[in-house]
Amino acid sequence: MNDMKQGDRLPETYEHIKSILAADNINISDYQLIDYGLQFTVSILDWSGVIRIYQNKKGALKIDYSQLKGGVNAIKVQTLIEGKRAISNLKNSDKNDVELGFPIIGTDESGKGDYFGPLVSAGVYVDERYAKALIACGVKDSKKLSDSKNLELAKEVAKICRGRFAIIEISPEKYNDLYEQFKRERKNLNTLLAWGHAKAIEEILSKVDCKVAIADQFADESFILGKLQEKGRRIKLVQMHKAEQHIAVAAASILARARFLEKLSKLSNEYKIDLPKGASQAVIETAKRFVDVHGREKLRKVAKLHFKITTEVLNR
């Protein structure tokens, strides 16, 4: 059975969700303990569904909505829970009281861990209406989706949030130039990541007003805020681990990953070599073959050269 000494945060999270749903006249049952977590029933009139909360040995929480079985009421419940508060980061007391109501801008990036292809940052403005539509069509963290599903859902996200999103693509060649520039200025990769997130937020703010943005925890928030404030932008930024659990960040992750996949495919076609994702041994072998065919100088047009892979490929 579940060890409640380990799971002290589970009842706290349950009570938090209960208060959110009760404020919207949604009924919630007492919880029952299950292996590694707890579960409870939510109901609206003659509709009901089950929510489960799990906690691993490191204290990380996961909320499982799979037993809500879809539909308007399921969307409403999930949107209320995700939109009201950053529950996935309750262990960080400085985040406990951050309210994440709608509207909100979510940002995410793709390509950071991939040797080949661009770095893509995306931002999506989401209000309550958009959130319901995004959840209904199956939007979730891009890492939990196949490539084909990412590409399919990116079209839905773009349609639902038309005119309210931004995609910032940094080609491998531009990435290498910026990385070298930032290195000379004694800045690191976080500065480059922040630049992409800030550009996405800035572009959205030029189209629509929003007071809050949420992004994954990759650096001190001053990296992003500093970039925005250079242009006179003011926004409250929340950074949290596993931010992609929030529907706005999940939508951004899908747009970013889809663009990355599209551009990686385009580069593969252009150079007539199938450029794989990631940074595996297969990537190293492909990079060696690429240099043999196209030469060392062309590598900067398809790959992020600061990876250790480059040394292994060029120092043969």
pLDDT in tens, 220-263: 567 787 777 666 577 888 887 777 878 999 999 999 999 999 99
* Percent of the chain at pLDDT exceeding 90: 55
pLDDT tier, 264 (very low <50, low <70, confident <90, very high otherwise): very high
Are residues 102 and 83 in contact, defined by beta-carbon separation less than 8 angstroms? yes
Q: Which of 127-131, 214-218, 302-306, 308-312 has the lowest mean pLDDT?
A: 214-218
Domain 104-263 architecture: 2-Layer Sandwich (3.30)
Strands 37-44 and 61-64: unpaired
pLDDT tier, 93 (very low <50, low <70, confident <90, very high otherwise): very low
Residues 164-179 pLDDT 10s: 999 999 999 999 999 9
Q: What is the pLDDT of residue 95?
A: 39
Q: What is 9-85's CATH number?
A: 3.30.310.240
d(CA 110, CA 250): 12
Are residues 99 and 243 in contact, defined by beta-carbon separation less than 8 angstroms? no
Q: What is the pLDDT of residue 235?
A: 85
Instruction: Please report how many Cα atoms fall inside a 13 Å half-sphere around the Cα of residue 291, on the Cβ side.
Output: 19
pLDDT tier, 7 (very low <50, low <70, confident <90, very high otherwise): very low
The answer, yes or no, to whether residue 6 has pLDDT greater than 70, is no
Residues 50-83 pLDDT 10s: 999 998 877 778 888 888 876 778 878 887 787 6
pLDDT tier, 89 (very low <50, low <70, confident <90, very high otherwise): very low
Q: What is the pLDDT of residue 230?
A: 65
d(CA 30, CA 21): 13
What average pLDDT does the structure give for the chain? 86
Q: What is the pLDDT of residue 199?
A: 92
Helices (H), 137-278: 147-160, 172-184, 189-205, 222-229, 247-271
pLDDT tier, 94 (very low <50, low <70, confident <90, very high otherwise): very low
Mean pLDDT of 36-61: 89
Residues 120-147 pLDDT 10s: 999 999 998 998 899 888 898 899 899 9
The answer, yes or no, to whether residue 87 has pLDDT greater than 90, is no
What's the predicted TM-score (pTM) here? 0.73
Domain with CATH 3.30.310.240 in the chain: 9-85
Q: What is the pLDDT of residue 72?
A: 78
pLDDT tier, 8 (very low <50, low <70, confident <90, very high otherwise): low
Tokens of 86: 């950053």
Q: What is the pLDDT of residue 234?
A: 76
Amino acid at 21: L
Per the model's pLDDT, the better-predicted residue between 22 and 227 turns out to be 22
Q: What is the pLDDT of residue 2?
A: 46
Domain with CATH 3.30.420.10 in the chain: 104-263
**Which residues fall within 8 angstroms of residue 214, CB to CB, at 6 or more apart?**
86, 100, 104, 105, 106, 107, 237, 238, 239, 240, 243, 246, 248, 249
